Amino acid sequence: MENSKVIAEAKKLGLDKVGFCSAKDFNQNFKSVIAAVFPYYTGKIDGANISKYCFGLDYHKVVARTLSRLADALGLNGFEIFCDIGKNDDRKIAHRCGLGFYGINSLIINEEYGSYFFIGYIFCNEDFEYSAPVNTVCKRCMACKNACPAGAVRGDFTIDADKCLSNVTQKKGELQCNEIAMIKENNSVFGCDICQDVCPHNKNAKKSHFDAFTKNLITKLEYEDLANLSNKEFLKKYGERAFAWRGKKVVERNLSYIKDGKSEK
């Protein structure tokens, strides 16, 4: 199949950054990978206490629907779609497909959208001309490393995931004292954008053009929003949002830490 056909059909779906690589590099029983960028940046929003990637609809579902439509338009058979799920290294795939370069904070950075994008891809059995990795490199200014409240950014293009505040906010059960302190100090209900917000490559990041990520946004949660909701009511109200996947208990717990922190002042 010609790359141009995929690119043309992808553009009809709002996908303006598409790349191709071999699936064999990822121990898959497919020939090729079609990867695409799904930008979600909506601009600076003051007072937000959840990560920017959670403002809109659940990206897992949006990406899956969009790539399913692309696969249908291309007439693909026997394909598989992924986005942040499974054992595949999404960032490695994006890099191999020429969609961006690695930042010191381990994220892939696209020259137009910065690091504010989701990576979606299709494993298929079509032959393509494979993309070349981009030549741009991270500025290595270490702003992300210096700003990380958890000291999770190592400075060698990897992070200590166990320390990462974003991961801490998603852990189940009771947290350690230092973890609770980080949530309180950074007003982090779900996720963390600090290493991205200070990154110079994100300074002029282009805003998203996807309605799913730019309309009917939820940028802030309050303890009172969840306190009187049952688990079923929580899922009914927030089930289409990425922060809902961990369930009500985790989100409510983080909100209670922040609420307690405010009352202590």
Task: In whole angstroms, give the CA distance from residue 20 to residue 128.
Answer: 7
Q: What is the DSSP letter of 48?
A: -
Q: Please answer whether residues 112 and 101 qualify as being in contact, where contact means their C-beta atoms are separated by less than 8 angstroms.
A: no
Check if 84 is active-site: yes
Strand partners, 50: 190
The Cα-based distances of 229 to 202, 210, 247 in angstroms read: 37, 30, 12
Please give the radius of gyration of the chain, using alpha carbons only, rounded to the nearest integer.
19
Give strand pairing partners of 39. 117
| Cβ atoms 90, 119 nearer than 8 A | yes
Residue type, 193: D
- For residues 116 and 112, give the distance between their C-alpha atoms in angstroms, rounded to a whole number: 10
- 84, 127, 162, 260: which is the annotated catalytic residue? 84
How crowded is residue 154: how many other Cβ atoms within 10 Å of its Cβ?
15
Question: Distance between CA 233 and CA 196 in Å, rounded?
Answer: 33
Cβ(96)–Cβ(134) below 8 Å: no
Which residues participate in catalysis according to the annotation?
84
